[in-house]
Amino acid sequence: MGDVAVGARSGHDGEDHGGRPEENVPSANGGSTSGSESGPAGGPTPADGPYSGGDGAGPGGDGGDSAAAAPKKPRSFWKELPILIGIALVLALLIKTFLVQAFSIPSDSMQNTLQQGDRVLVDKLTPWFGSEPKRGEVVVFHDPDDWLAGEPTAQPNAIQTFLSWIGLMPSAQEKDLIKRVIGVGGDTVSCKDSGPLKVNGHALNEPYVYPGNTPCSVDDQGGQFTVKVPKGSIWVMGDHRQNSRDSRYNQSDKHHGMVPVGEVVGRAIVKAWPINRWGTLPVPDTFDQSGIGTQTSAAASLSVAPEGVAVAAVLPIAVWRRRRDDLAGSKFDRRAAVGKR
d(Cα 35, Cα 11) in Å, to the nearest integer? 6
In DSSP terms, 139 is beta-bridged to 179, 267
Active site residue 271: no
- 324, exposed or middle or buried, with CB in 10 Å at 0-12, 13-18, 19+? exposed
Query: Helix, strand, coil: what percent of the chain each, to 5?
Result: 35, 15, 50
Query: Is the sign of the CA dihedral 303, 137, 226, 230 positive or negative?
Result: negative
Residue from 96, 124, 179, 271 carrying the catalytic annotation: 179
Provide Rg for the chain, Cα atoms: 44
- How many other C-beta atoms can be found within 10 angstroms of the C-beta atom of residue 10? 13
CB pairs under 8 A, 24+ apart, for 110-113? 110/138, 110/178, 110/179, 110/180, 110/238, 110/239, 110/240, 110/244, 111/210, 111/239, 111/240, 111/243, 112/208, 112/210, 112/211, 112/239, 112/240, 113/138, 113/180, 113/208, 113/239, 113/281
Of 152, 74, 118, 165, give the one whose Cα is nearest residue 275.
Answer: 118
* Cα separation values, 297 from 15, 193, 200, 240, Å: 106, 28, 11, 30
Active site residue 107: no
Residue from 104, 109, 164, 244 carrying the catalytic annotation: 109
**Residues annotated as catalytic (active site), given as ranges:** 109, 179
